[in-house]
Amino acid sequence: MKNTHLLGGLTPDQFLRRYWQKKPLLVRNAIPDMQALLAREDLFSLAAREDVESRLITNFRRQWKMQQGPLNALPLTTRKNWTLLVQGVNLHDDQADQLLHQFRFIPDCRLDDLMISYATHGGGVGAHVDSYDVFLLQAHGQRRWRIGAQQDLRLREDLPLKILRHFVPEQEFILNPGDMLYLPPQYAHEGVAVGECMTYSIGFRAPTWQELGEAFLAFMADSIELPGRYSDPTLRSTRHPGAIGDQMMDAVNRTLQKLASTGADREIFLGEYLSEPKPSVSFDPHPNPLGVRQFAKAAARLGIRLHRKTRMLHRHKYMFMNGESYLPGTSDRSVLRRLADDRVLDASHLARASADLSESLYRWYLDGWLDLQTTKSFQKS
């Protein structure tokens, strides 16, 4: 983390120990000379796309309304009290992706996305709580935040948004461009635009145990192998034909015990689960790919980098990319771990890749999961 202002002079560890998942932190001038990375028109164009998640929230004549994207028509920017939220901007813009990378002192498997909100004067989403931690970075104009540690999280009824019934703000701040507010999960907050403004939310993810459990059982269902079928050549006649007998129950117990997962199953499951891109994400196969030899030569000269949409993780001997798991040879492990951590590999590191790994890299290149370091093809999509 190069920017020492980002956490107001705290080291990442100090921040994590004192604030993360515990209490809010306001950082003035977290990003010095902050300027919006996208003009409002760029954001409006993203909101019109099918593959981008967006929402329009209006509070006209004291009535909350919400419309899901794609949004082809937006209210006039001269009209007060509306806001546009665009999720996952980091997937579509390199600079937004780079901004998110300033928060990689927190592992990628916890980092979710960069959401950008645009609001006209008075615009906001009402007082609410979120399930996840968030850094709210002011990018353009001003926003007034009011926050409170209330326990009463009951919501107003009959609204298209989750708005707290009784919001009790305890602190209030006006954020200017470059200022940032960290909030832990379930902390009540309300941000209202003071004039036209844009706010960037650096969002996190954490699966509920229920979601994780269901996904794990689906994973195990895909991988179990139980050959054979129940049989009972020693069956005796019964006087209780409605009963399930011990003989069958015991056989089922013995068989189902074989379904217990191993540590390796759980590691592979977790890596595949956490590296799975969101359902809206799709990769474009490379439009003019080099041949396999040309690619190897170019990579040896230029190095490679992951596409910003690629999720790559590692755990012990396993590697995970975009929902798939790999068990690379020992000599390739350090190369792949470096690629996952740095998201780029310089030519010198590629020199150590085995033939197997070079083949995988070429396949990932064809699929658009990675590219040569200098190509511009990733910049806008």
Q: What is the DSSP letter of 278?
A: P
For the bound state, the minimum distance from the C-beta of residue 126 to Co ion, rounded and expressed in Å, comes to: 10
- Count of residues touching Co ion (by CB under 5 A): 1
Asked if 275 contacts 319 with a C-beta cutoff of 8 angstroms, the reply is: no
191 binds, among ligand SIN, Co ion, none (CB under 5 to 8 A by kind): ligand SIN
For the bound state, the minimum distance from the C-beta of residue 72 to ligand SIN, rounded and expressed in Å, comes to: 21
203 binds, among ligand SIN, Co ion, none (CB under 5 to 8 A by kind): none
Pick from 94, 130, 196, 276: which binds Co ion (CB under 5 A)?
A: 130
When the beta carbons of 177 and 191 are compared against ligand SIN, the nearer one is: 191
SS3 of residue 206 by DSSP = coil
Q: What is the distance between the alpha carbons of residues 60 and 82, in angstroms, rounded to a whole number? A: 8
Query: Per CB under 6 A, does 124 bind ligand SIN?
Result: yes
Q: What is the DSSP letter of 176?
A: P
Pick from 6, 134, 350, 361: which binds ligand SIN (CB under 6 A)?
A: 134
Starting from the edge strand earliest in sequence, which strands make up the sheet with 324-326, in order?
A: 312-315, 318-321, 324-326
Q: What is the DSSP letter of 245?
A: P
When the beta carbons of 117 and 322 are compared against ligand SIN, the nearer one is: 117
351 CA to centre of own chain: 32
Encoded one letter per residue, x for contact with ligand SIN by CB under 6 A and - for no contact, window 198-217 reads: -x-x----------------
**Stretch of 48-56, 124-132, 232-240, 291-299 contacting ligand SIN, by CB under 6 A:** 124-132
Query: Per CB under 5 A, does 132 bind Co ion?
Result: no
DSSP secondary structure of 318-365:
EEEETTEEE---HHHHHHHHHHHHHSEE-HHHHTT--HHHHHHHHHHH
For the bound state, the minimum distance from the C-beta of residue 251 to ligand SIN, rounded and expressed in Å, comes to: 54
Q: What is the distance between the alpha carbons of residues 308 and 50, in angstroms, rounded to a whole number? A: 19
Query: Per CB under 6 A, does 87 bind ligand SIN?
Result: no
What's the full length of the chain, in residues? 381
SS3 of residue 25 by DSSP = strand
When the beta carbons of 117 and 120 are compared against ligand SIN, the nearer one is: 117
Pick from 130, 196, 267, 276: which binds ligand SIN (CB under 6 A)?
A: 130
Query: Per CB under 6 A, does 25 bind ligand SIN?
Result: no
Distances (CA, A) of 72 to 2, 50, 88, 90, 191: 39, 10, 18, 21, 25
81 binds, among ligand SIN, Co ion, none (CB under 5 to 8 A by kind): none
Encoding tokens for residue 312?
Answer: 């790559």
For the bound state, the minimum distance from the C-beta of residue 381 to ligand SIN, rounded and expressed in Å, comes to: 24
Q: What is the distance between the alpha carbons of residues 183 and 23, in angstroms, rounded to a whole number? A: 7
Pick from 69, 178, 191, 328: which binds ligand SIN (CB under 6 A)?
A: 191
When the beta carbons of 117 and 275 are compared against ligand SIN, the nearer one is: 117
When the beta carbons of 42 and 367 are compared against ligand SIN, the nearer one is: 42
Encoding tokens for residue 169?
Answer: 């703000």
Asked if 188 contacts 148 with a C-beta cutoff of 8 angstroms, the reply is: yes
Site residues (CB under 5 A) for Co ion, limited to 187-216: none
- Alpha-carbon dihedral 35, 41, 42, 48, rounded to 10 degrees: 140
Contact residues for Co ion, defined by CB under 5 A: 130
Contact residues for ligand SIN, defined by CB under 6 A: 83, 117, 124-125, 130, 134, 189, 191, 199, 201
